[in-house]
Amino acid sequence: MLRARLSLLTLAALAFTLPTPAHSQPALRARIARIAAQAHGRVGVACSLPGTALNCDLNATEPLPMQSVYKLPISMTVLHLVETGRFTLNQPIRFVPSDIAGPGVYSPLRDAHPHGAISDPLSDLIRRAVIESDNAASDELLHLIGGPSVANDYVRSLGISGISIRDTEAAENRDERLENRNVAEARSLVLLLRRLADRSPLTAEHTQLLLGWMESSHTGDHRIMPLLPPGTVVAGKTGTSGVDRTFLNATNDIGLIALPGGRRVALAVLVADSTAPEAVRERVIAQVARAVYDAATAQPPHTGR
């Protein structure tokens, strides 16, 4: 009987959190499909605003390359392990950035220390991975926790499937075909954002620390942000493949968009295999974000009883 009640409670929570069926907002979904067509590639879109009928699904359950979007679940995993006592945020982590990030890997940390070993506080490595999308910092975090499988297992422990973390940035740089292994469904990324915003598995202190870093990042200034009303706060994480890639490309952004009144809509837009220029791919993300923002602000808050 208790298990049955828990199952009913779980189903009720999911019904409150997840978008309602596809027929709820066909106009929004049609608008998003028209916008996505400009990318001339594969585009996955999902969004969620609890208590509303908001639904912007487009290929929402198709696995698409994450690129640096996966630094969000990696960072959440590290913070979880801090909370279990395995690490501390102020403990020094000593490593050689050049051993982790080769010349073709984006890493301001490696560029600042191209030859020598460094000692950086764990909190700074997470900050760099989230705000700067630093690949050396991210790979050191993966090395520290015991590899990609640990982050993968943590995400699954949250009850979220559809996110696969398998390779480091350095491995992807050596073999671009591996970009097709770190993949996620847009809908699963939205679920992760909703957990962070609504029922965070992290402490309040670490949740606010992480969201603050996400809000401070400027890697998405030309993606979710530019068409939103001035002053709109977005806590996001981008992902981008190298400009010299021939096998796959990815232009991604996910984020929690603050709405008037304090609610936050979760949005994930993943663009892969696009033949359009980068400016067009980023404009697609910006236009989708604006369409979702307009639809979300038209949704009345759920008052409950």
Within a domain: 18: no
Interior angle at CA 261, CA 188 and CA 206, nearest 5? 50
141 assigned to some structural domain: yes
Query: Which pLDDT does position 20 carry in this prediction?
Result: 40
pLDDT at 97: 80
Domain assignment of residue 168, given as a range = 24-297
Q: What's the pLDDT at 156? A: 97
Does 206 fall in a domain? Answer: yes
pLDDT of residue 11: 35
In a domain, 118, yes or no: yes
Is residue 48 within 8 Å of residue 54, measured between CB atoms? yes
Q: What is the pLDDT of residue 95?
A: 84
Task: Name the token pair of 220.
Answer: 């998405």
From the number of C-beta atoms within 10 Å of its C-beta (0-12, 13-18, 19+), residue 62 rates as middle
Has residue 8 been placed in a domain? Answer: no
According to DSSP H, which parts of 168-277 are helical?
169-174, 186-198, 204-216
Contacts of 219 by beta carbon, 8 Å cutoff, 6+ apart: 68, 132, 133, 238, 240
**Which CATH number belongs to the domain containing residue 258 in this structure?**
3.40.710.10
pLDDT value at position 13? 41
Do residues 217 and 244 touch, judged by C-beta distance below 8 A?
Answer: no
pLDDT at 246: 52
Give me the torsion for CA of 231, 233, 239, 243, rounded to 10°. Answer: 10
Q: What is the pLDDT of residue 106?
A: 86
Instruction: Determine the pLDDT at residue 175.
Output: 74
Is the residue at 304 inside a domain?
no
Number of domains within the chain: 1
The whole-model pTM stands at 0.88
Residues 100 and 110: their CA atoms lie apart, in Å, by: 9
Q: What is the predicted pLDDT for the residue at 27?
A: 94
**Cβ distance 169 to 143 under 8 Å?**
no
**How many CB atoms are located within 10 Å of the residue 208 CB?**
12
Each residue's pLDDT, cut to its tens digit, for the chain (305 residues) gives 333 333 433 333 433 344 443 344 899 999 999 999 999 999 999 999 999 989 999 999 999 999 999 999 999 999 999 999 999 999 999 988 877 777 777 889 888 888 778 899 999 999 999 999 999 999 999 999 999 999 999 999 999 999 999 988 877 777 777 777 899 999 999 999 999 999 999 999 999 999 999 999 999 999 999 999 999 999 999 999 865 555 457 999 999 999 999 999 999 999 999 999 999 999 999 999 999 999 999 977 665 43
Asked if residue 190 belongs to a domain, the reply is yes
The answer as to whether 249 is a domain residue is yes
**111 vs 132: CA distance, rounded Å:** 13
Q: How far apart are CA 117 and CA 293, in angstroms?
A: 45
Distance CA 221, CA 293 (A): 16
